[in-house]
Amino acid sequence: MNKKSDDRLLNWLDERFNISPFLDFMKHKQVPIHKHSVWYYMGGVALFLFMVQVLTGILLLLYYQPGVDSSYESIRFIVTKVNFGWLIRSLHSWSANLLVLFIFIHMFSTFFTGAFKNPRELTWLSGFILLALALGFGFSGYLLPWNELAFFATKVGTDITGAVPLVGKAIKIFLRGSEDVTGGTLLRFYAFHVAIIPAIFTFVLSVHLLFIQRQGMHEPDFYKKLPREKQKTIAFFPDFFLKDILLWLIVLNILLFLAVFFPWDIGIKADPFASAPQGIRPEWYFMFMFQTLKLLPAHILFIEGEIVGVLMFGVGGVAWMLLPFWAGKINAQIRTRVLTTLGLLVVAFILVMTIIGYVM
């Protein structure tokens, strides 16, 4: 009976929208199964966490009031007075951090399995843009509670953009909404966080997912070399899809555990006329950059240390973004070794600097 009514609904839709090519595509799409298949799930987890962010973010919007005299107070109200407000706020913070973590894991797994190479250059590029936007989400959202840590982190973060040659000062004033970090900055960051970045992110994410669906899953070299009958696959729908959902449920449980047992702190309200407290630090995913700037001397040759640092990260970031366009030019015989070494060095640099940042 049910099957019949399902068929009737599908037929009804098919007559009007011609959805059968789409259904055929879903039915025939296969996902390779091999020793590195686990990495196929990381992007999906990031997607799930993004959906959690959208949902909890919308819920927070119902009570949050941006403004120097209301931001901190409204978050305190959400956490102390609103039913389950503490849970929603804590979920939003934890999920944000896990989202960035999983984007990083997804990115490095794509790197080390070589999935970024031809013909997936644009998938890598759109993924990099999503990473940059996620960092923008994190940076703008960090200021919204208007607490001491966030206030000084924003001062430092926006001042760094001022070190970019020629356009730096204009970018800094554009970001801050004035010369200094003020209530105007808070409003701007609020607009970035809830309107501008979500709109761009949703568009780029759609493109990213469309590319992946069009091209199918990347097959690593060792898998491609297997004889046809040994290349095991599972159907994307429903097999892979159900495994995805199962993992999302596990992640949701971990998220709830973290939000309930390690609720996010509100901190002390920002005072623009107070000394920066000890232990000022950005979110963990900016720590490696923050720590590098801390370790650079005041002057390197004739240039200010911070300018050298900003240029270094800028050039490194652009090179990383354009990776699929230059990696193919490396001599094929040593390519894998060169790229793996490079990737390990990048991971080691990020890890070491992050650890130093928290220990020192």
Partner 1 sequence: MSINRRNFLNIFLGTGFLGWVGSILYPLISYLIPPKVSEAKIQSVKAGIAADFPSNSGKIIKFGRKPVILIKTNKNKFVALSATCTHLDCIVRYRADTNQILCACHNGLYDLKGRNISGPPPRPLTAFNVNILNEEIIISKPSEMS
Binding site for partner 1 (CB under 8 A): 152, 155-156, 158-160, 173-174, 176-178, 180-181, 184, 272-280, 293-294, 296-299, 304-306
CB nearer partner 1, residue 181 or residue 323: 181
* Cβ 194 to partner 1 shortest distance, Å: 17
Integer CA distances (angstroms), 312 to 72, 124, 172, 306, 351, in order:
35, 21, 19, 10, 18
Q: How far is the CB of 105 from partner 1 (least distance, A)?
A: 29
Q: How far is the CB of 178 from partner 1 (least distance, A)?
A: 5
Minimum distance from CB of 207 to partner 1 (Å)? Answer: 23
**81 — phi, psi (to 5°)?**
-110, -40
Select from 123, 83, 74 the least CA-distant residue to 324. 123
Q: Which is nearer to partner 1, 128 or 192 (CB)?
A: 192
Q: What is the DSSP letter of 231?
A: -
- The answer to whether 360 touches 280, Cβ cutoff 8 Å, is no
Output 148 or 244, the one with its CB closest to partner 1. Answer: 148
Are 138 and 267 spatial neighbours (Cβ–Cβ below 8 Å)?
Answer: no
Q: Omega of the bond prior to 282 within 30 degrees of 0, cis?
A: no
Query: Are 176 and 184 contacting, i.e. CB atoms less than 8 angstroms apart?
Result: yes
125 CB neighbour count, 10 Å cutoff: 20
Q: Are 47 and 241 in contact (CB under 8 A)?
A: no
Compare residues 7 and 180 and give the one whose CB is closer to partner 1.
180
Residue 126: CB minimum distance to partner 1, A: 25
Cβ closer to partner 1: 167 or 245?
167
User: Closest CB to partner 1 among 134 and 181?
Assistant: 181
Whichever of 133 and 181 has its CB closer to partner 1, that residue is 181
Residue 121 corresponds to which amino acid? Answer: E
Residue with tokens 């992007």, as numbered in its chain? 43
CB of 234 to partner 1, least distance (A): 49
Smallest gap, in angstroms, from Cβ of residue 153 to partner 1? 9
Between 106 and 176, name the residue whose CB sits nearer to partner 1. Answer: 176
Q: Which two tokens stand for residue 119?
A: 């013909």
The conformation of residue 48, written as its DSSP 8-state character, comes to: H
The CB-of-93 to partner 1 minimum distance in angstroms stands at 22
Picking from 59, 110, 101, the residue whose alpha carbon sits closest to that of residue 251 is: 101
Q: How far apart are CA 13 and CA 7, in angstroms?
A: 10
Name the residue nearer to partner 1 (CB basis): 159 or 239: 159
- Give the Cα separation of 177 and 208 in Å (integer): 32
Q: What is the DSSP string of 141-203?
A: HHHTT-BHHHHHHHHHHHHHHTTSTTTHHHHHHHHHSSSS--HHHHHHHHHIIIIIHHHHHHH
Min. distance of Cβ 142 from partner 1 in angstroms? 15
- Residue whose CB is less far from partner 1, 160 or 194: 160
Angle, alpha carbons 62-87-41 (nearest 5°): 100
Query: Nearest approach, Cβ of 342 to partner 1 (angstroms)?
Result: 28
